């Protein structure tokens, strides 16, 4: 199906939904009781998405926020409240019906918030040709919209272009556990349902890294639908456009604390737990980001750790039998590859079958934030408990 045809069909579908009040595709978790206090009902009833990126408190006072695919304006209006009257919010959308509703309600929201004028503007535009000048956005948000764009890598490049050095994104979207087959890709109705355009988690994050973003990590995930054996699930991801430069630092080494036994960062550097690794100034900036900082000790001189050191962390599987229940783990943290203490190698976005003991390990604090877990068992699995490998190791 030609790209222009896909785009038009998606726009028409959402314009119709805005006019009829049809409930669209994706799982949402808005706190409607809170939002009703300042956002008109006309906006709330046409709010579609698969997460609440603005509501995750990633927005700061005075920031400039861009919402890609702003629809009726719900996320822009939430961001408006969070950035305060000194902040600025830009919403872009390709659907005239949505833009009209958002623009109509912007003054009402501003009055409800006690602002003398609205700090939100809505522009007509496409996600792959964002009508915003370079390097002006502190935070990019998007709620189940990039999924609908035929050329997502172009969208990611546009996001990187408009982000300030040191800026970031927090976006929610639908991804799949395996490539979507062509019979779904060419199903026009399923484009509007956030199905046909879904990338695998691997390809989605790779597209962001390819655009220049780093420190990409999982904020939240939840299952959505299984269609013809393909698992579609929502993810909320955050990533960063590193500053062009950073203050002078005497840091020259990084030592992995754990709980992973080995990781590879997005710049390609490999770290073994407890062993100092020489790093560059760019790597210092990367490892200083929130999702990575807790896993490393940065130091001016080589620093070794051993198991007796309180800074060393490890989580081992229970010394018991395990069962296979149909669970698969997908690494969605800020590493392109990671290994645990039971010989599993996780590659970002790739499903890896795990047993009950590994499931428990990945549910522990040091691991849980970095993994999306799905269950591919068509019905409840009831296999006997087993020793997973001949040497007694798990899986």
What domains sit in the chain, N to C, each tagged with a CATH number? 3-240 (3.40.50.150), 246-314 (3.40.5), 318-395 (3.40.5.100)
State which H helix or E strand residue 169 sits in.
Answer: strand 163-176
> Would you say the C-alpha torsion 330, 148, 155, 120 has a positive or negative sign?
negative
pLDDT band, very low/low/confident/very high, at 58 (cuts 50, 70, 90): confident
Q: pLDDT per residue over 332-384, tens digit each? A: 999 999 999 999 999 999 999 999 999 999 999 999 999 999 999 976 666 56
Residue 393: band (very low, low, confident or very high) from pLDDT cuts 50, 70, 90: low
Q: Cα(322)–Cα(313) distance, rounded to whole angstroms?
A: 23
Q: Which residue has the higher pLDDT, 17 or 64?
A: 64
CB of 240 closer than 8 Å to CB of 167: yes
Contact 282, 246 (CB under 8 A): no
DSSP-derived secondary structure letter, 91: E
- The average pLDDT across 221-236 equals 92
Out of 112-126, 190-204, 218-232, which region has the weakest mean confidence (pLDDT)? 190-204
Going by C-beta distance under 8 Å and a sequence separation of 6 or more, which residues neighbour residue 241? 160, 163, 164, 165, 166, 167, 168, 212, 213, 214
Among the residue ranges 16-25, 117-126, 255-264, 352-361, the one predicted with the least confidence is 16-25
pTM exceeding the 0.85 threshold for the entire prediction: yes
Q: What stretch of H or E contains 5? A: helix 3-20
Quickly state the pLDDT bin for 389 (edges 50, 70, 90): low
Distance CA 258, CA 274 (A): 8
For 313-329, write each residue's pLDDT tens digit.
999 999 999 999 999 99
Q: For 44-53, 235-244, 322-331, which range has the lowest pLDDT when averaged over its residues? A: 44-53
Question: In whole angstroms, what separates CA 30 from the centre of its chain?
Answer: 17
Q: What are the φ and ψ backbone dihedral angles of 375, each rounded to 5 degrees?
A: -125, 115
Q: How many CB atoms lie within 10 A of CB 171?
A: 27
Residue 301 has pLDDT above 90, yes or no: yes
Q: What is the mean pLDDT of residues 192-201?
A: 80
DSSP string, 349-380: T--EE--HHHHHHHTSTTTGGGEEEEE--SS-
């Amino acid at each position: 199906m030609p790209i222009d045809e896909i785009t038009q069909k998606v726009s028409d579908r959402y314009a119709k939904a805005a006019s009829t009040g049809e409930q669209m595709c994706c799982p949402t978790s808005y706190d409607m009781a809170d939002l009703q206090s300042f956002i008109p009902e006309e906006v709330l009833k046409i709010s579609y998405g698969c997460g609440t990126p603005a509501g995750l408190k990633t927005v700061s006072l005075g920031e400039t926020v861009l919402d890609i695919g702003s629809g009726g304006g719900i996320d822009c209006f939430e961001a408006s409240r969070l950035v305060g009257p000194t902040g600025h919010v830009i919403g872009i959308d390709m659907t005239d019906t949505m833009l009209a509703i958002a623009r109509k309600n912007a003054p009402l929201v501003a009055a409800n918030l006690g602002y003398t004028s609205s700090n939100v503007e809505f522009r007509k535009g496409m996600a792959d040709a964002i009508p915003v000048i370079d390097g002006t956005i502190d935070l990019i948000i998007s709620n189940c919209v990039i999924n609908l764009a035929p050329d997502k890598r172009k969208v990611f490049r546009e996001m990187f272009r408009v982000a300030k050095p040191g800026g970031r994104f927090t976006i929610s979207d639908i991804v799949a556990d395996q490539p979507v087959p062509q019979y779904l890709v060419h199903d026009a109705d399923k484009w509007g349902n956030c199905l046909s355009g879904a990338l695998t988690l691997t390809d989605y994050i790779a597209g962001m890294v390819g655009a220049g973003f780093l420190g990409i990590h999982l904020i939240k995930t939840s299952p959505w639908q299984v269609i013809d054996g393909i698992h579609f699930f929502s993810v909320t991801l955050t990533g960063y456009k590193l500053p062009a430069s950073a203050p002078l630092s005497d840091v020259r080494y990084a030592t992995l604390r754990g709980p992973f036994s080995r990781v590879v960062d997005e710049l390609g550097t490999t770290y073994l737990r407890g062993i100092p690794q020489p790093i560059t100034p760019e790597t210092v900036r990367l490892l200083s980001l929130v999702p990575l900082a807790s896993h490393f000790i940065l130091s001016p001189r080589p620093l070794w750790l051993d198991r007796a050191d309180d800074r060393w962390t490890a989580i081992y599987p229970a010394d018991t039998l395990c069962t296979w229940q149909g669970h698969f783990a997908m690494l969605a943290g800020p590493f392109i590859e990671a290994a645990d203490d039971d010989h599993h190698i996780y590659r970002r976005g790739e499903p890896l079958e795990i047993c009950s003991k590994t499931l428990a390990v990945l549910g522990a604090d040091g691991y849980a934030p970095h993994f999306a877990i799905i269950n591919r068992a068509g019905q409840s699995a009831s296999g006997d408990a087993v020793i997973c490998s001949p040497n007694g190791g798990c899986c």
